[in-house]
Amino acid sequence: MFNFNFDNTFLKLSDDFYEQCEPQSSSNPVLVIFNSSLAEQLNIDSNIQNHVDYLVGNQQFPGSAPAAHAYAGHQFGHFTMLGDGRAHVLGEHVTEGNERFDIQLKGSGRTIFSRSGDGRATLGPMLREYIISEAMHHLNIPTTRSLAVSRTGEDVYRETVLPGAVLVRIAKSNLRVGTFEYAVRTEDKDNIKVLADYAIQRHYPECADDLNPYLSLLNKVIVQQAALIAKWQAVGFIHGVMNTDNMTISGETIDYGPCAFMDIYKPSTVFSSIDHQGRYAYHNQPGIGLWNLTRFAETLIPLIDSDETKAIQYAETALKAYQDTYVQQYQLRFGQKIGFENINPQDFQLVIDLLAILEKHHLDFTSTFRALATNTFKNQSFFKHDDIQQWYKEWLNSMDNQNQSTDSYTLMKSVNPAVIPRNHLVEEALSDMVLANDDTKLIQLLSAITNPFSDDHDAQYLNPAPPSERVYQTYCGT
């Protein structure tokens, strides 16, 4: 039905990893937004948007088998046993191209993992996830995506009474570092091997034939995460809650809670209302990535080698490579942002100096790099500063000495977005939807962020937020 082609390989694992359970019903569901382009990519009949009961879990797709997944996690550094407390994975949709995606309902009711929670989600955070995940996809950053958001017709009680909603999330899988942390702590000691074999089969089948497939799995995940976080840094994205249960094995960005894009360049920027110590600040994200991967490596120690001392040595060597991989990816991304295909260490000083200038003069991260890409840098008000003029002169001299296959301005335009989901615009769109059921600003914002490398947009999407409209705190919605 609706071209869904469900499989349920995860349910072939031990039931330690999940609880099969039905989503709670929604009393009066109404579709808010549907991602037709994603449906087409997944070979899903877009006619499904006319059958909202399927999109909130009131009715089940043939072949689906709803389940809440078990996992653990280090949340702000503290270990906790967790699980899907407000989500149900319906199953794995297999496309015509043999790609496999988890189809998950988020906000679909209580499960065995809900603890004291109500299992529900509110409209604002679900729409935020839809907006930000679409922006990330069109910025060419690996991410889960959103197929639909629907109102449930029911009130949800947080600080105030808010409209309930269900999001349909699409992911390569829901395997997380936290899933491995959970597996290694179960009574069945075979669970960690079973899970690792499943992760290899699903995401990295090339590892299966290696001499040490579990060490190869660790190396693969390290490379994926180093590259992912470098891409976050290059667009000023701040995840907000980089707990180990929010780091995927596939290398996709997942769980868009108090996330936001940085406006004024300030490395210590934090948006999350609950991150009082700045653990997940912009400049801490690379280090937290390594911290999380270290927790992942610890779960694989029994599999990497029967000699624990050797296994730890192998894992430590793999983790040391994270920094090299991250730095390489970071330098590549930021080098391209100033027009260098493959920047050398000497020229990378230009990046370091430019970022220092951005911080010193409180300049907008996105629009400054876009001005460089569109050759309007000299026309900006900030160009009056002597240090900026000197930097620009040195940059031009370095550009004149380049011999590369791609035109520098073409390269810069392809990696420096003109449009990001500015926090104040996201908040305006969400407020209009939640308070007035007005989707005008939401639709306009989505139109802009799905074409981020074009300057052919209304000025409000291209310009930084005025100081009076800057958003300094975001909330996770749980």
> 39 falls in which pLDDT band (50, 70, 90)?
very high
For residue 413, what are its two tokens?
């335009």
> 20 falls in which pLDDT band (50, 70, 90)?
very high
d(CA 229, CA 239): 10
d(CA 363, CA 359): 7
Buried b (16+ CB within 10 A) or exposed e, 362-375: ebbbbbbbbbbbee
Task: Tell me whether residue 245 is one of the annotated catalytic residues.
Answer: yes
Three-class secondary structure of residue 152 per DSSP: strand
> 473 falls in which pLDDT band (50, 70, 90)?
low
Three-class secondary structure of residue 253 per DSSP: strand
pLDDT in tens, 268-299: 999 877 777 889 999 999 999 999 999 999 99
Rg of the chain (C-alpha set): 23
d(CA 423, CA 238): 12
pLDDT in tens, 141-164: 999 999 999 999 999 998 899 999
Percent of the chain at pLDDT exceeding 90: 90
* Chain Cα centroid distance, residue 418: 20
Comparing CA positions, the residue from 451, 73, 379, 27 lying closest to residue 241 is 73
Helix axis angle for 123-138 and 440-449, nearest 10°, is: 20
CB 168 within 8 A of CB 175: no
d(CA 72, CA 76): 13
Comparing CA positions, the residue from 44, 473, 62 lying closest to residue 274 is 473
Q: Is the pLDDT of residue 175 over 90?
A: yes
Q: Find the angle CA(240)-CA(241)-CA(244) to the nearest 5 degrees.
A: 150
Cα 376 to Cα 380, 381, 464: the distances in Å are 7, 11, 16
CB-side exposure of 150: number of CA atoms within 13 Å? 28
pLDDT at 67: 98
CB 231 within 8 A of CB 333: yes
Three-class secondary structure of residue 63 per DSSP: coil
For residue 338, what are its two tokens?
């100033």
pLDDT at 273: 74
pLDDT at 288: 97
CB 173 within 8 A of CB 144: no
d(CA 319, CA 315): 6
CB 251 within 8 A of CB 228: yes
d(CA 463, CA 220): 39
For residue 22, what are its two tokens?
């039905």
Q: What is the pTM of this model?
A: 0.95
Residue type for 402, please? Answer: Q
> 300 falls in which pLDDT band (50, 70, 90)?
very high
**Active-site option among 245, 255, 263, 275:** 245
d(CA 31, CA 46): 13
φ, ψ for residue 157, nearest 5 deg: -105, 115
d(CA 89, CA 66): 5
Cα dihedral 250, 32, 366, 469 sign: negative
pLDDT in tens, 421-468: 999 999 999 999 999 999 999 999 999 999 999 999 999 999 998 876
Residues contacting 465, CB < 8 A, separation 6+: 263, 422, 423, 424, 425, 471
Name 279's bridge partners: none
> 402 falls in which pLDDT band (50, 70, 90)?
confident
